[in-house]
Structure formats: structure tokens, C-alpha cells
């Protein structure tokens, strides 16, 4: 008798992301995470005094933290398809024959240049997390929210009131991180729901994402796709 091959795990069990909601990623264990896109500094070009100031400011930033943060550097092949498409549209609308010819030559040059060389782009991300387990299990807020009759549960396992409370706690941490990094000279932008979905989509689908773009979150029907893990966009909640 032939042995039955072991059944593999469903993709839902392997992806820790449960949903993306109001610019916050909710994991399967209830942890909330916010992600900031940051600028970079050319440390080597700074003077010795500036370098020392940056090092001390970063040291102060780390010493002030009483919660974990994750710093990620992502390298991706630059996709210039949207840029080339825009160039072709402008070329078609150009009335000057000479300019139209030059735009066509320029588009072909850029396309051939990228085809023969992998042009990479780097993104610098800081992720701040907040675990619901870190709060008191029977705090006054928990007792109050438990008493709300008919509070509707959302896909992340939280009521709207609970999620708003935990999100506020997380954003306080985000603000602390942002202030500390601004003191170093960095610029920061928090990722919204659409940007988070694109980030996770690119990370989980590095090959597919090059040819198939993620739909806009506003065009997704989460009720019809509930429970389907074909892509991270299934967990989007605008």
C-alpha cells in the first residue's frame, strides 16, 4: 500500500499578515505594526563633527526606546514601465515632428539601457509594533470594551473601539520614533493602506509583482474575497 504523502500547510498558515487596515498591518497573533519610509544620509561625506553628532543622536534614539523596532533595507529592480508609457503617451500627443522623433529615440534608449543592466532602487523602512498582550489583560479599557453590547467584530478580531484604542497606542510609539530619527536628520513618511499592500505584495511575490501590478485598494471588494489568500489585497480594509 502506497503511503499517503503528507499534506502541506495552507498558505494562510504561512503568512503572518491577517489584514491591513487604516494604514496599520494586523498580524495573526493580534500584533499591530506601522511602517515608516525614511530617507538616507551619506555618512561618508559628512565631516568628523557631523558624523559624531549623528552617532550620538542615533545612540540617544536607541537608548530612549523601550519597545522593539525593525529597520529594513529593501533592494528592488527599478521598474520604469510607467515612465516609458507616459513618454509614449506624450510622444503621441506631440504636434512637433522633431520633438516627437527625439522623444521616441529617447524612449528606445532608456528601454535598451535598462534591458541590459539591472538598475536597482533601495528603500529604507522602519517598522514599529504594538502587541495587545503588552497591555494589562484586565485593564479598565478591556473591561469597558467587553461590556459593549452588540459590538461588531472586524476581520482582525477587534471591535472598532478596540482597534482605535490599540492604534492610538501604536501611533504614540510611531511619533516617538519619528522624533528621534528626525533629530538625526532623516525625513519620514508613514505608509498608508495602499502603500503597505504594495510593500507586502512585492515582498511575497517578487517575480509576479514585476509584471502584474496591484489593484488600487479602493477598487477591491473585500466582502466577496473574504477568506481568500490569493494576495495581500484580500485583507485590505479602506
**Spatial distance between the Cα atoms of 20 and 28, rounded to a whole number of angstroms:** 11
**Spatial distance between the Cα atoms of 156 and 25, rounded to a whole number of angstroms:** 10
Residue 213 sits at the vertex; the CA angle it makes with 207 and 218, to the nearest 5 degrees, is 140
Chain CA centroid to CA 102, Å: 38
17-61 per-position pLDDT tens digit: 888 889 999 988 889 999 999 998 899 999 999 999 999 999 999
Residue 41 sits at the vertex; the CA angle it makes with 202 and 48, to the nearest 5 degrees, is 155
Radius of gyration of the chain (CA): 23
* pLDDT at site 234: 36
φ, ψ at 74 (rounded to 5°): -110, 130
206-224 per-position pLDDT tens digit: 777 767 777 776 665 544 3
* DSSP β-ladder status, 236-237 and 188-190: unpaired
Say yes or no to pLDDT of 238 above 60: no
Amino acid at each position: 500500500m502506497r503511503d499517503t504523502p503528507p499534506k502541506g500547510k495552507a498558505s494562510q498558515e504561512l503568512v503572518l499578515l491577517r489584514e491591513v487596515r487604516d494604514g496599520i498591518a494586523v498580524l495573526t497573533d493580534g500584533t499591530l505594526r506601522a511602517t515608516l519610509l525614511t530617507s538616507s544620509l551619506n555618512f561618508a561625506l559628512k565631516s568628523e563633527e557631523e558624523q559624531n553628532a549623528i552617532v550620538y543622536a542615533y545612540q540617544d534614539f536607541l537608548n530612549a526606546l523601550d519597545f522593539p523596532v525593525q529597520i529594513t533595507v529593501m533592494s528592488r529592480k527599478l521598474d520604469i514601465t510607467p515612465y516609458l508609457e507616459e513618454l509614449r503617451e506624450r510622444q503621441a500627443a506631440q504636434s512637433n515632428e522633431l520633438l516627437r522623433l527625439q522623444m521616441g529615440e529617447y524612449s528606445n534608449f532608456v528601454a535598451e539601457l535598462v534591458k541590459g543592466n539591472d538598475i536597482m532602487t533601495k528603500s529604507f523602512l522602519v517598522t514599529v509594533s504594538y502587541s495587545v498582550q503588552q497591555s494589562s489583560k484586565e485593564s479598565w479599557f478591556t473591561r469597558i470594551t467587553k461590556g459593549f453590547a452588540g459590538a461588531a467584530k472586524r476581520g482582525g478580531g477587534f471591535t472598532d473601539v478596540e482597534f482605535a484604542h490599540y492604534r492610538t497606542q501604536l501611533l504614540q510609539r510611531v511619533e516617538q520614533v519619528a522624533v528621534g530619527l528626525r533629530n538625526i536628520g532623516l525625513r519620514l513618511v508613514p505608509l498608508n493602506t495602499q502603500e503597505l499592500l504594495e510593500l507586502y505584495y512585492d515582498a511575497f511575490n517578487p517575480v509576479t509583482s514585476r509584471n502584474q501590478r496591484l489593484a488600487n485598494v479602493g477598487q477591491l471588494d473585500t466582502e466577496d474575497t473574504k477568506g481568500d489568500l490569493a494576495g495581500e489585497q484580500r485583507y485590505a480594509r479602506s
